[in-house]
Amino acid sequence: MITSLLVSIGIISLISVFLAILMVIADATIGNYGIVKISVNDKTKEFEVEGGQSLLRALNQEGVFIPSACGGRGSCGLCKVQVIEGAGEYLPTELPWISEEEKKQNIRLSCQVKAKTDMAIVIPEELFYVKEYSTVVESIKDLTHDIKEVRLLLKDPPSITTKAGQYIQFEVPEYGDLDESVYRAYSMASPPGDSTHVELEIRLVPNGICTTYVHEVLKEGDPVTINGPYGDFFLRETENNIIFIAGGSGMAPIKSILLDMEQRGIQRKATYFFGARSKRDLFLLDKMRELEEKMPNFKFVPALSEPLEEDNWEGEVGLITDVVRRMVEEAPSSEAYLCGSPGMIDACIKVLHELKVPEENIFYDKF
Amino acid sequence: MNGSITPLAIFFASIFTGNILLTNYLGMCSFLSVSKELKTSTGLGVAVIFVMATTTPLNWLVYQHLLIPFGLEYLRFIVFIIVIAAFVQLTEMTIERYSEPLYQSLGIFLPLITVNCAILGVSLFMVIREYSFFTSFLFGLGSGIGWFIAIIAMAGIRQKLRTAKIPPGLEGPGITLIIAGFMAMAFMGFSGMIALS
């Protein structure tokens, strides 16, 4: 009995060891592509990486984070990168994600393309500043009945360089029925001046993976991994008047921009239209009033679409589009920054067009 | 030894009358999910032919010269899987290194079929039916070709089906399984020619 057990264990081990040795040898010979050079953005940066791994991983090791929601399995199609040379033909695993237009520009999925020879690629400049940060939850507060403010303290690296209005990706670890971590994007509500913290405003979406996690599982003191910053939703350096429009947790990037304006002493004329259903959906009113006092050219206009009787609401009433149409002045010389649901943004952009806000002056962040 | 049929007969029988996919319903998962496109089906089919034709004799050697002498026949499931996985991995690495076009058309599918039950099935049948080394090779090759024929036939039918009106409840896997059933019945028509034990 014992002998047969030992023999069987021995034989299985023998086979496994033999095959493992074979694999190690193969990896060191057949799988060894040596060091390959990756030249980024016409040689502004050059990396020497170990060949044979995916472009996504190779760049990752050099500290360049390409946004990727699935973690490199070719199932999200986010990690697109323009490869000028060295990628070979398109792989069948890439084709579902690549349009005809992108094919002409040699846009590839960086998680599928392997760095086997020297390569030349083009990536947006801002991705050089994207890093992964380990953080801890410093506080979680209820802003409304369904929006929580999560304040993260950065640990490693200890500070982040952002532009007000940008977003980060939040890693949701395995919990409940979720058997692999996923990433979700959230705008930062904290200003760039507060470089040691990242503040998020997260509204509970029924059955949302990340929002449920944040609302029901996450506690103060818990570790959270984020990466970023991403996005081109930030204040342009002009002298134009500013129209901000937001709804719900669309507050976050606008708040970041406003705090940044205050800290940097930007005195441009700005009006912030915030749409909500009833009074219980409004939040940070005190903060906004405080900003109005500090910045004489800033005006906060909350508007309720369906105020309840007990709200005793004396402010603006109506859909945010109607309020904007009614109140915006000097539209042709204004810039507009919008953040909210796609429905709200599309409706507001239509109104802004009617008011003759130039197309190139409208910036938005849909979620 | 199965003396009543010659190795050549086993080769043809494993393609038609004893088609691994249509008579044993092995390798169904990749058959259902990949048979949408003729091109990818061809790639996967060729990969299956290659892996079956190589791993079956390889497993024969391991079984005859390692497992039987030590009386460890009952370990064949786990050992066969390890051997198949390692072999497929090595082949993929080799192809990726030395032949770009081959990797494009074949290599990319190799990891997908490591866990294909038809491949393990062929190795296990070879043991049950007590084939010789040469017969095992022909049996693996034939089974691979049979699987290849089945999947490209299915891909062809599914490409035609794209324009057909299918009841909503039957779209996707539903209609595919029904068609696979018809194909299996059609292949039964061959059974008068040769029979696999």
Is A356 inside any structural domain? yes
Look at residues A169, A201, A230 and tell me which one is the last residue of a structural domain: A230
At A84, which CATH number?
A: 3.10.20.30
Both A47 and A138 in one domain: the answer is: no
Q: Which chain B residues are Cβ-neighbours of A27 within 8 angstroms?
A: 93
Q: H-type helices in chain A, by residue range?
A: 2-29, 55-61, 100-104, 209-212, 251-264, 285-294, 320-327, 342-354
Q: CB under 8 Å, gap of 24 or more: what pairs does A288-291 form?
A: A288/A258, A291/A258, A291/A259, A291/A262
Q: Which chain A residues are Cβ-neighbours of B93 within 8 angstroms?
A: 26-27, 30-31
Nearest Cα to Cα of residue B47 among B144, B154, B120, B150: B144
Query: What is the band of A330 on the pLDDT scale with cuts at 50, 70, 90?
Result: confident
Q: Could you say which of A11, A30, A114 has the minimum Cβ distance to residue B72?
A: A11
Is A322 inside any structural domain? yes
Total count of domains within chain A: 3
Is B117 inside any structural domain? yes
- In chain B the first and final C-alpha atoms are separated, in Å, by 12
Q: Could you say which of B66, B75, B90 has the minimum Cβ distance to residue A26?
A: B90
Both A260 and A354 in one domain: the answer is: yes
Left (φ > 0), alpha (ψ -120 to 50) or beta: where does B5 sit?
beta
pLDDT average, residue stretch A28-54: 88
Both A360 and A257 in one domain: the answer is: yes
Is the predicted pLDDT of residue B197 greater than 60, yes or no?
A: no
Look at residues A112, A127, A142 and tell me which one is the last residue of a structural domain: A127
Is B1 inside any structural domain? no
Q: Report d(CA A164, CA A152) in Å as an integer.
A: 16
In chain B, pLDDT over 70 holds for what percent of residues?
Answer: 96
Is B125 inside any structural domain? yes
Is A162 inside any structural domain? yes
Total count of domains within chain B: 1
Nearest CA in chain A to B103: A91
Q: Per mean pLDDT, which range of A69-73, A116-120, A259-263, A299-303 is the poorest?
A: A69-73
Both A249 and A196 in one domain: the answer is: no
At A276, which CATH number?
A: 3.40.50.80
In chain B, pLDDT over 90 holds for what percent of residues?
Answer: 32
User: Is residue B171 classed exposed, middle or buried when 0-12, 13-18 and 19+ CB atoms within 10 A define those classes?
Assistant: exposed
Is B28 inside any structural domain? yes
What domain range is B15 assigned to? 7-192
Count of pairs with CB atoms under 8 A, one residue in A, one in B:
52
What domain range is A190 assigned to? 130-230
Q: CB of B140 within 8 Å of any CB in chain A? A: no
Is A19 inside any structural domain? no
Task: Confirm whether pTM is higher than 0.90.
Answer: no
Is A5 inside any structural domain? no
Both A248 and A361 in one domain: the answer is: yes
Both A208 and A254 in one domain: the answer is: no
Is B197 inside any structural domain? no
Look at residues A127, A157, A175 and tell me which one is the last residue of a structural domain: A127
Quick: pLDDT tens for A161-215: 899 999 998 988 888 888 777 788 899 999 999 999 999 999 998 888 889 999 9
Is the predicted pLDDT of residue A331 greater than 50, yes or no?
A: yes
Is B34 inside any structural domain? yes
At A221, which CATH number?
A: 2.40.30.10
Quick: pLDDT tens for B128-142: 999 999 999 999 999
- For residue B25, the model assigns a pLDDT of 87
- For residue A34, the model assigns a pLDDT of 87
> Are B104 and A89 a contacting pair at CB < 8 A?
yes
> B129 vs chain A: nearest CA distance in angstroms?
24
> Are A89 and B82 a contacting pair at CB < 8 A?
no
Is B2 inside any structural domain? no
Both A259 and A215 in one domain: the answer is: no
Tell me: ipTM over 0.90: no
Q: Per mean pLDDT, which range of A219-223, B121-125, B158-162 is the poorest?
A: B158-162
| Residue A261 contacts residue A231 (beta carbons within 8 Å) | no
Quick: pLDDT tens for A90-113: 887 788 888 899 999 999 999 889
What is the token pair recorded at A215? 């609302």
> Are B104 and A31 a contacting pair at CB < 8 A?
no
- Most confident segment among A239-253, B157-171, B180-194: A239-253
Is the predicted pLDDT of residue A236 greater than 60, yes or no?
A: yes
- For residue A217, the model assigns a pLDDT of 92
- For residue B195, the model assigns a pLDDT of 67
Q: Could you say which of A11, A91, A92 has the minimum Cβ distance to residue B66?
A: A11
Q: What's chain A's average pLDDT?
A: 89
Q: Which chain B residues are Cβ-neighbours of A30 within 8 angstroms?
A: 90, 93-94, 97
Both A65 and A101 in one domain: the answer is: yes
Q: CB of A75 within 8 Å of any CB in chain B? A: no
Q: Which residue reads 């319903």 in tokens?
A: B25
Q: Report d(CA A273, CA A251) in Å as an integer.
A: 10
Mutating which of A9, A13, A15, A117 best tests the B interface, going by the most B Cβ atoms within 10 A? A15
Bridge partners for A366 per DSSP: A340
Quick: pLDDT tens for A120-164: 999 888 788 888 899 999 999 999 999 999 999 999 889 998 999
Q: What is the rounded radius of gyration, in angstroms, for the C-alpha atoms of chain B?
A: 17
Measured N-to-C along each axis, helices B173-188 and B133-161 cross at an angle, to the nearest 10 degrees, of: 130
Is A24 inside any structural domain? no
Is A323 inside any structural domain? yes
Dihedral angle, C-alpha A144, A148, A149, A154, nearest 10 ° = 180
